[in-house]
Structure 1
Amino acid sequence: MSTTGKVHLPTGQEALEKKGWFGAHKYLVLRRLSQAFFLLLFLLGPWFGIWWVQGNLAGSMTFGFLPLNDPLILAQMMAAGHWPETTALIGGLIVLVAYALIGGRVYCSWVCPINPVTDAAHWLHVKLGLQKGWQPKRSARLWILATVLIVSALTGTIAWEVINPVTMVHRGLVFGMGFVWALVAAIFVFDLVVARRGWCGHVCPVGAFYGLIGAKSLLRVSAVRRDACDDCMDCYEVCPENQVISPALRGKGASTPLILSPDCTNCGRCIDVCAMDVFAFTHRFDDHVETPTDAAATSRPPKQTAA
């Protein structure tokens, strides 16, 4: 599908005109509500004395009987030579299974409170027209993950928790932000001027860990109507891991339309901004491709705007 003669409209503009504001931002809004919901659950106790959940994203007890523990923290504990208690192991197993089924990096886009910070940095980066900046290899976060486990083993500590911004933000909201503001600002500036999408895409070992967990997950985004694609490139513009799109969108014949890369965060932004409704959530066993029945859809010329 040629892009010759096309001049790019503002990202999401066509979807905005076709779907309306909410339709073009549905999954973004739902993600923000989800992130606020999970954060509020942990703050109900300290702020309002409502102890439905005790703890934080590192480890918690819900309604006094349901343990939930970050399996990466448990992995660091075991690397450090400290065997977790049975309750913690059960909580870690519950989280492990949940993210293995729904997609590990769903944590990054639907739960992590740092995600709105990095999204805001990317929005401003685009608005200011800044250069892409330094882009370390995406495998760097895997090396950082390995380093975290090695340092835990050598020091006998849960190494990442010393600087984990998620844990520090939660504690800051309870006991006072103080230095935490500087850490959050550093992540924002890093993504803004040093490396576009750098923190989540290239650095954070938590994202790397959950990506490994969800490598074979059930929940997937599919380019189910890829034949209707008009090459607007909006999906590439908004995707935080846009290298995952091409194998599904540009595939031909019997190639799967599913985005199978564990790097995909299942954020749903590609679904939001696509005016042609090319993408949809489905499961990993649903690899059918819809053939457009509307003749206008199949013969639609590329978008034209004034140069």
Structure 2
Amino acid sequence: MSIATSQQLTKYYDTFRTIAVTYTKEVVRSTGLQPQSVFLKCLGEQWPCVIYSSSFDEAKVLAPNKQALMERITKANGLVSVRLAFKLSDASDPVLFFVSGKVNGFSPYAQSNGSLQFISLQFTQRPPDDFVEIMGRLLEANVNSARRSDNRILLTPDAIRTIGLARKESTVLIDGVPRRCILRDLSFSGAKVIIVGLAKFLVGKPCVLRIDLDDPRETVAIAGSVVRYEDVEGRKDLTAIAVKYNDGTIPMSYKMHINDYLGQKKNQSDDEQAPSAPSKAR
């Protein structure tokens, strides 16, 4: 994961401060959250809990419904902290930190027969930068996947490295038949790949494109359909086909890889356009 600047962190915080994220399995996997290392701390004692949702202002956790915990929360006037842990791809050890807050509500968790409860808390200070960066990347990728859905990225060696692609060589399953392919360009909403043979009769067929990613290493499979084809100049044996992904099937981790690339290119463009300081008169 690239390191965000203080300016980028401030942008994440100000833009997404009140937007709550529910920790689905996909969000947990994409952020690297370590569920077994999440605890609610009050007056020096910790209880294992599940973080259900959070924004940069508040959180909701699923915690034990125990008298000892309730007594401590009362004694502490509701002041608690949540310990979070995230495994980042470029670090050998998880990133651990506490977020301070004040309890502002309890509600039963019906499926636990009274053994668990939801605890809502309001953060009493801005969360640590690591948390703002991790969740900010995810939120920004989700917004930009709609706003910049058709921005195509030609897969040059630099783009492959910046996106975090393991390789250009891949496989696309078209109408149930696997075909080897080479990735030519990617976007939030689709891809262009090169295959061997004619593609005229593939237009409109359902497909699944497999893409190998690095940092972290994983293979995503994205469902879509072939929407058009075109010849490859100088190669009669090859055809380029355009794949449009099905809405709702695009993995969050893929969105984050694409967004990281577009963000880096935007920062580079801004740096190039920034006026240089005038030289002093001699």
TM category (shorter chain) comes to under 0.3
TM-score of the superposed pair, with normalisation by structure 1: 0.21
Which structure would you say has the larger RCO, counting Cα contacts within 8 Å and 6 or more residues apart? 1
Where is the helix percentage greater, Structure 1 or Structure 2?
A: 1
TM-score of the superposed pair, with normalisation by structure 2: 0.23
Structure whose CA Rg is larger: 2
Where is the strand percentage greater, Structure 1 or Structure 2?
A: 2
